[in-house]
Amino acid sequence: MAQFFPKWTNRLPLVIGLTLAVGAVSVVAGVWYFFSPKYTDAGYRPIQPVPYSHKLHAGDLGIDCRYCHTGVEKSAVASVPPTQTCMNCHTLILPESEKLAPVRESFISGQPIKWVRVHKTPDYAYFDHSSHIRAGVGCITCHGNITQMEVVRQVEPLSMSWCLDCHRNPEPYLRPVNEVTNMNWTPDENHDQFVKEHIEKLKLSPSTDCSRCHR
Protein backbone atom coordinates (compact mmCIF):
# COMPACT_ATOMS: atom_id res chain seq x y z
CA MET A 1 0.00 0.00 0.00
CA ALA A 2 1.41 3.38 -1.01
CA GLN A 3 2.52 5.80 1.73
CA PHE A 4 0.62 9.10 1.89
CA PHE A 5 3.47 10.94 3.66
CA PRO A 6 7.22 10.88 3.04
CA LYS A 7 9.42 8.89 5.43
CA TRP A 8 10.94 11.97 7.08
CA THR A 9 7.58 12.89 8.61
CA ASN A 10 8.06 10.01 11.06
CA ARG A 11 10.45 12.29 12.92
CA LEU A 12 7.91 15.11 13.29
CA PRO A 13 6.59 14.06 16.73
CA LEU A 14 10.14 13.99 18.10
CA VAL A 15 11.01 17.36 16.52
CA ILE A 16 7.78 18.94 17.76
CA GLY A 17 8.32 17.52 21.25
CA LEU A 18 11.88 18.82 21.46
CA THR A 19 10.81 22.22 20.14
CA LEU A 20 8.04 22.52 22.73
CA ALA A 21 10.39 21.44 25.53
CA VAL A 22 13.09 23.93 24.51
CA GLY A 23 10.46 26.64 24.11
CA ALA A 24 9.01 25.96 27.55
CA VAL A 25 12.45 26.06 29.17
CA SER A 26 13.25 29.30 27.33
CA VAL A 27 10.02 30.92 28.50
CA VAL A 28 10.64 29.90 32.13
CA ALA A 29 14.26 31.10 31.98
CA GLY A 30 13.21 34.37 30.35
CA VAL A 31 10.55 35.07 32.96
CA TRP A 32 12.93 34.03 35.78
CA TYR A 33 15.55 36.56 34.65
CA PHE A 34 13.69 39.40 32.91
CA PHE A 35 11.01 39.61 35.61
CA SER A 36 13.53 39.45 38.47
CA PRO A 37 14.77 42.47 40.46
CA LYS A 38 18.23 41.89 38.99
CA TYR A 39 16.83 42.97 35.62
CA THR A 40 13.89 45.21 36.53
CA ASP A 41 15.38 47.11 39.51
CA ALA A 42 19.18 47.06 39.31
CA GLY A 43 20.32 50.06 37.32
CA TYR A 44 17.31 52.20 38.27
CA ARG A 45 18.45 55.84 38.19
CA PRO A 46 15.63 58.38 38.45
CA ILE A 47 16.00 62.08 37.74
CA GLN A 48 15.82 64.07 40.99
CA PRO A 49 14.19 67.51 41.43
CA VAL A 50 17.62 68.89 42.36
CA PRO A 51 20.80 67.68 40.58
CA TYR A 52 22.57 66.52 43.73
CA SER A 53 25.96 64.90 43.11
CA HIS A 54 27.10 62.29 45.61
CA LYS A 55 30.42 62.20 43.77
CA LEU A 56 31.01 65.85 44.63
CA HIS A 57 29.67 65.86 48.19
CA ALA A 58 30.58 62.38 49.48
CA GLY A 59 33.50 61.79 47.13
CA ASP A 60 35.43 64.98 46.35
CA LEU A 61 34.44 66.86 49.53
CA GLY A 62 34.50 63.78 51.76
CA ILE A 63 31.24 64.49 53.59
CA ASP A 64 30.36 61.48 55.74
CA CYS A 65 27.15 59.64 54.81
CA ARG A 66 25.84 60.15 58.33
CA TYR A 67 25.88 63.94 58.08
CA CYS A 68 22.85 63.75 55.79
CA HIS A 69 21.48 60.29 56.59
CA THR A 70 21.30 60.87 60.31
CA GLY A 71 19.04 57.94 61.20
CA VAL A 72 21.15 55.18 59.73
CA GLU A 73 22.89 54.22 63.02
CA LYS A 74 19.85 54.27 65.28
CA SER A 75 16.79 53.75 63.10
CA ALA A 76 15.40 51.25 60.63
CA VAL A 77 15.47 53.98 57.96
CA ALA A 78 18.48 56.02 56.90
CA SER A 79 16.27 59.14 56.52
CA VAL A 80 16.39 61.78 53.79
CA PRO A 81 17.97 65.03 54.99
CA PRO A 82 15.67 68.04 55.49
CA THR A 83 16.28 71.17 53.46
CA GLN A 84 17.89 72.79 56.49
CA THR A 85 20.78 70.33 56.17
CA CYS A 86 21.43 71.55 52.63
CA MET A 87 21.18 75.18 53.69
CA ASN A 88 23.73 74.69 56.47
CA CYS A 89 26.28 74.97 53.68
CA HIS A 90 24.43 76.65 50.82
CA THR A 91 23.46 79.72 52.79
CA LEU A 92 27.06 80.76 52.09
CA ILE A 93 28.16 78.41 49.28
CA LEU A 94 26.62 79.16 45.85
CA PRO A 95 23.65 80.98 47.41
CA GLU A 96 22.53 82.32 44.02
CA SER A 97 22.93 79.13 41.97
CA GLU A 98 20.00 78.46 39.64
CA LYS A 99 20.36 74.72 40.24
CA LEU A 100 19.73 75.32 43.93
CA ALA A 101 16.58 77.40 43.39
CA PRO A 102 14.28 74.49 44.44
CA VAL A 103 16.31 74.15 47.66
CA ARG A 104 15.93 77.84 48.52
CA GLU A 105 12.21 77.75 47.69
CA SER A 106 11.77 74.70 49.93
CA PHE A 107 13.62 76.42 52.76
CA ILE A 108 11.49 79.57 52.50
CA SER A 109 8.15 77.82 52.07
CA GLY A 110 8.78 75.00 54.52
CA GLN A 111 7.63 72.46 51.92
CA PRO A 112 10.02 69.47 51.66
CA ILE A 113 11.78 68.69 48.41
CA LYS A 114 10.09 65.76 46.67
CA TRP A 115 13.11 63.51 46.27
CA VAL A 116 12.54 60.34 44.25
CA ARG A 117 13.34 57.24 46.25
CA VAL A 118 15.95 54.98 44.63
CA HIS A 119 16.36 52.03 47.02
CA LYS A 120 13.15 50.48 48.32
CA THR A 121 12.36 47.09 49.75
CA PRO A 122 8.80 45.77 49.26
CA ASP A 123 6.23 46.81 51.85
CA TYR A 124 5.94 43.19 53.00
CA ALA A 125 9.65 43.03 53.85
CA TYR A 126 11.20 44.66 56.93
CA PHE A 127 14.74 46.01 56.73
CA ASP A 128 16.62 47.71 59.57
CA HIS A 129 19.56 49.92 58.60
CA SER A 130 20.82 50.32 62.15
CA SER A 131 21.25 46.59 62.82
CA HIS A 132 23.36 46.20 59.69
CA ILE A 133 25.50 49.24 60.53
CA ARG A 134 26.09 47.93 64.08
CA ALA A 135 27.09 44.57 62.61
CA GLY A 136 29.73 46.22 60.43
CA VAL A 137 28.16 45.85 57.00
CA GLY A 138 29.55 48.64 54.81
CA CYS A 139 27.25 51.04 52.93
CA ILE A 140 28.97 50.01 49.69
CA THR A 141 27.71 46.45 50.09
CA CYS A 142 24.13 47.42 49.29
CA HIS A 143 24.45 50.85 47.68
CA GLY A 144 27.58 50.48 45.60
CA ASN A 145 30.32 53.11 45.53
CA ILE A 146 28.20 56.20 46.09
CA THR A 147 31.28 58.45 46.03
CA GLN A 148 31.61 57.79 42.29
CA MET A 149 27.97 58.50 41.36
CA GLU A 150 26.91 61.81 39.87
CA VAL A 151 23.37 60.41 39.86
CA VAL A 152 22.58 57.68 42.38
CA ARG A 153 21.50 54.39 40.86
CA GLN A 154 20.45 51.06 42.34
CA VAL A 155 23.41 48.69 42.00
CA GLU A 156 22.12 45.53 43.68
CA PRO A 157 18.76 43.78 43.10
CA LEU A 158 17.76 43.89 46.81
CA SER A 159 15.87 40.63 46.20
CA MET A 160 15.15 38.02 48.85
CA SER A 161 17.70 35.58 47.42
CA TRP A 162 20.34 38.34 47.39
CA CYS A 163 19.66 39.14 51.06
CA LEU A 164 19.72 35.45 52.02
CA ASP A 165 23.06 34.94 50.29
CA CYS A 166 24.55 37.52 52.65
CA HIS A 167 22.78 36.18 55.75
CA ARG A 168 24.06 32.68 55.00
CA ASN A 169 27.61 33.85 54.36
CA PRO A 170 28.14 37.33 55.90
CA GLU A 171 31.92 37.03 56.37
CA PRO A 172 33.00 38.71 53.08
CA TYR A 173 30.85 41.77 53.85
CA LEU A 174 31.93 42.47 57.43
CA ARG A 175 34.35 45.23 58.39
CA PRO A 176 35.19 47.33 61.47
CA VAL A 177 32.12 49.34 62.49
CA ASN A 178 34.07 52.60 62.24
CA GLU A 179 34.74 51.84 58.56
CA VAL A 180 31.16 51.25 57.40
CA THR A 181 30.96 54.53 55.46
CA ASN A 182 34.46 54.28 54.02
CA MET A 183 34.04 53.46 50.33
CA ASN A 184 37.78 52.91 49.89
CA TRP A 185 38.22 50.37 52.69
CA THR A 186 39.64 47.00 51.66
CA PRO A 187 40.22 43.91 53.83
CA ASP A 188 43.80 43.06 54.73
CA GLU A 189 45.53 39.69 55.06
CA ASN A 190 44.14 39.29 58.61
CA HIS A 191 40.51 39.66 57.55
CA ASP A 192 39.59 36.05 58.30
CA GLN A 193 40.86 36.38 61.87
CA PHE A 194 39.13 39.74 62.25
CA VAL A 195 35.83 38.28 61.05
CA LYS A 196 36.05 35.37 63.47
CA GLU A 197 36.69 37.69 66.44
CA HIS A 198 34.13 40.23 65.19
CA ILE A 199 31.35 37.62 64.99
CA GLU A 200 32.18 36.26 68.44
CA LYS A 201 32.40 39.71 70.00
CA LEU A 202 29.07 40.93 68.58
CA LYS A 203 27.44 37.49 68.73
CA LEU A 204 26.36 37.81 65.12
CA SER A 205 23.97 35.17 63.85
CA PRO A 206 22.05 36.46 60.80
CA SER A 207 18.65 34.84 60.69
CA THR A 208 17.22 33.11 57.62
CA ASP A 209 13.84 32.57 59.25
CA CYS A 210 10.90 33.99 57.25
CA SER A 211 9.50 35.86 60.24
CA ARG A 212 12.70 37.89 60.60
CA CYS A 213 11.90 40.02 57.55
CA HIS A 214 8.24 39.22 56.91
CA ARG A 215 6.51 40.48 60.02
The per-residue DSSP string of 184-215 comes to T----TTHHHHHHHHHHHHT------HHHH--
Task: Give the tens place of pLDDT for each residue, 148-167.
Answer: 999 999 999 999 999 999 99
Q: Which of 209, 116, 117 is nearest to 163 (CA)?
A: 209
Indicate whether 196 pLDDT > 70.
Answer: yes
Residues 6+ apart with CB under 8 A from 151: 45, 47, 48, 51, 53
Per-residue confidence (pLDDT) for residue 148, from 0 to 100: 97
Per-residue confidence (pLDDT) for residue 144, from 0 to 100: 96
Segment 94-120 shows an average pLDDT of: 95
Distance of alpha carbon 58 from alpha carbon 51, whole angstroms: 14
